[in-house]
Chain A
Amino acid sequence: MAAPPFYVQPMLRFILTRVSLIIPTFLGITLLAFFLIRLVPGDPIETLAGERGIDPARHEQLRKEYGFDQPILVQYGIYLSRVLQGDLGKSMITQEPVITEFAALFPATIELALCAILFALILGLPAGIIAAIKRNSIFDHGVMGISLAGYSMPIFWWGLILILLFSVQFDLTPVSGRIDVLYYIEPITGFLLIDTLLSDEPEAFWSAVRHLILPTIVLGTVPLAVIARMTRSAMLEVLGEDYIRTAKAKGLSRFRIVALHALRNALIPVVTVIGLQIGVLFTGAILTETIFSWPGVGKWLIDAIFRRDYPVLQGGALLLGVVVMSVNLLVDLAYGLINPRIRHTR
């Protein structure tokens, strides 16, 4: 039997190692979610079933149904097998399966998050690059100052200030929601920007765009600051390398040096940072969605807290955790594919 090509084995080993590393993390998240409900003060059955002061017979029946009469490890086993089958319980308020509600609301969060990261990239990359090229200029100091402020920004306040400016003062943008109430858009992809284009109402698309502007800015502010700072420092490092000096000595144009030689290498750490921003984005989404009444999973979770809808809180947190974990894994794998130095360590 012929030996596999020399590059296959480390690659395969790299993928298998990374994938196997998420198993303990996944188990850890399920354990957290499992014990969460048991930490809530009061009777866990009343907590889970949402029925208060129920009679002893019904209580006993529910105890069996939820498996509370079993040893704790068995209970966890039952919970884990349910989770793996996609059964995360039902919302106490709507009686809908948690996973169905999550799936219905998640596209709104994704749409917002994608727009935010796009906004951050479109502004952050050029700002960082120019700041690095014109090091110590007024522009550089300005970009660094603004990005430090952006990094320190309480975004829940930033949202209110933008509403004050653009909605109240200039009446340019709507205050809340995803689209004007007068439009009804059949969800096809769940992304309103696409669904409105597919519908026969062109006006609806612009309504959706106007609703997206402020939440996008608010959610994109912290990633924008991080990306600008990271791009600048990565560019500065690369611009000091020998091969850049060589390129300069060869008489290449400044644009060619920056765009073709420097940027390509400077982008590697930037890509990692963007991957790491996913967690930050979901955190920000919780606050942004609350401010703008954006019907996504973040607002859904916060509402669940105040309604004491514990199954939603438990299942929603678990699902968000799994999403972030999976995205991190994908970024990790993609990074290993691009950069051979990484897959050969360990």
Chain B
Amino acid sequence: MTTETMEAPAVAAPTATPPHPLREFWGYFSANHGAVAGLVIIVAVVLVALLADVIAPHDPNATDTALALKPPFWQEGGSIAYPLGTDPIGRDILSRLIHGARLSLLIGIAVVALSIIIGTVLGLVAGFFRGLTEIFIMRLMDIILTLPSLLLAIVIVAVLGPGLMNAMLAVALVILPHYVRLARAAVITETSKDYVTAARVSGAGTTRLMFREVLPNCTAPLIVQASLGISTAILDAAALGFLGLGAQPPSPEWGTMLADAREFVLRAWWVVTFPGLAILITVLAFNLLGDGLRDALDPKLKR
């Protein structure tokens, strides 16, 4: 994950102006304090997720009813052994949050990867073949966009059955149209350029044109959308978890943790506060990063 965000500029380099594209990108990106803060938070969350087994003080699923609903350490009755308190069946909230970071990142990355692969291929096909194929694909995407995103995801999960896999599939489908539209629009702009004509004249086949010539030049908007897509994916998957349609208990997915603890909101503020805070901070970080990437990669905004 870390390497993915760090390598992003390298992929996007061809769209920037010649001398030092990577340095130029970093110059723009690092000028945006919000974006850097977002990147730092994301790196931290990634580290926490990778090292979950090492840094989590307790087993996230170990229950002990004698320890149920212990408050965080700074409140009376809390202990430093359970820094953020325990949930209704005595599991350590901090350890569950740490392990939940794994799930949330996994959800975000897997959903966006799936969506971006299918979406780019559909967009490339629509942009290249035009005609009926294009109309069919784009109409289908319009329909998906018309329906409120979470409603569609809920309906899909309701039909396929609750669970993390189905929730991820549903969210991937819901965010698909953005990638299809981006890829198609980029392809249509790119195919009219001389280098594509040159490649076609020198005998490149359609597949080569699509994936070797045009695709590398459409990556900038896709990278930006991917970063924003991860935040949507994490948020929507957590919402599904909260509704009982996503990851199922005892999974430490943040949304599911909230759903689990909801009825205790009146007695123990910490069981609902921390999982939601984790979602908010992670989603915020990806949004900050996305905004920063867009500003740094979009030539129109460059002064």
A interface residues, Cβ below 8 angstroms from B: 24-25, 28-29, 32, 36, 39-41, 148-149, 151-154, 156-158, 160-161, 163-164, 168, 279-280, 282-283, 286-287, 290, 301-302, 305-306, 313, 317, 320-321, 324-325, 328
> Across the interface, do A279 and B148 meet the contact criterion of CB distance under 8 Å?
yes
Report if A313-B276 is in contact (Cβ < 8 Å); known contacts: A29-B146, A148-B287, A168-B266: no
Query: Nearest 6 A-B pairs (CB), nearest first?
Result: A157-B276, A28-B143, A283-B150, A152-B284, A283-B148, A152-B283
> Across the interface, do A153 and B280 meet the contact criterion of CB distance under 8 Å?
yes
Most chain A CB within a 10 A radius of its CB, from B147, B161, B231, B280: B147
> Across the interface, do A39 and B159 meet the contact criterion of CB distance under 8 Å?
yes
CB distance from A173 to the nearest CB of B (A): 14
Report if A317-B272 is in contact (Cβ < 8 Å); known contacts: A25-B139, A25-B143, A148-B288: no
Report if A25-B146 is in contact (Cβ < 8 Å); known contacts: A152-B231, A154-B283: yes
- Beta-carbon contacts of B207-239 to A below 8 Å, as 1s and 0s? 000000000000000000000000100010011
> Across the interface, do B239 and A154 meet the contact criterion of CB distance under 8 Å?
yes
Taking A40-B159, A154-B242, A161-B272 as given, write out 8 further A-B residue pairs in contact, using a Cβ cutoff of 8 Å, ordered by the A residue number: A24-B139, A28-B139, A28-B140, A154-B280, A156-B276, A279-B146, A279-B148, A286-B243
Report if A152-B151 is in contact (Cβ < 8 Å); known contacts: A32-B143, A161-B272: no
Q: Is B158 interfacial (CB-CB < 8 Å)?
A: yes
> Across the interface, do B235 and A154 meet the contact criterion of CB distance under 8 Å?
yes
Q: Is B160 interfacial (CB-CB < 8 Å)?
A: yes
Interface of B is mostly: helix
CB distance from A265 to the nearest CB of B (A): 20
> Across the interface, do A160 and B151 meet the contact criterion of CB distance under 8 Å?
no
CB distance from A150 to the nearest CB of B (A): 10
> Across the interface, do B258 and A157 meet the contact criterion of CB distance under 8 Å?
yes
Contact of A320 among B151, B231, B235, B288 (CB under 8 A): B151
CA distance in complex: A168, B279 (Å): 23
A324: chain B residues at CB < 8 Å are: 146-148
CA distance in complex: A317, B151 (Å): 7
Q: Is B23 interfacial (CB-CB < 8 Å)?
A: no
Q: Is B61 interfacial (CB-CB < 8 Å)?
A: no
> Across the interface, do B150 and A161 meet the contact criterion of CB distance under 8 Å?
no
CA distance in complex: A317, B147 (Å): 9
> Across the interface, do B284 and A317 meet the contact criterion of CB distance under 8 Å?
no
Q: Is B244 interfacial (CB-CB < 8 Å)?
A: yes
B231: chain A residues at CB < 8 Å are: 152
CA distance in complex: A158, B238 (Å): 13
A158: chain B residues at CB < 8 Å are: 276
Q: Is B265 interfacial (CB-CB < 8 Å)?
A: yes
A305: chain B residues at CB < 8 Å are: 154, 158, 245
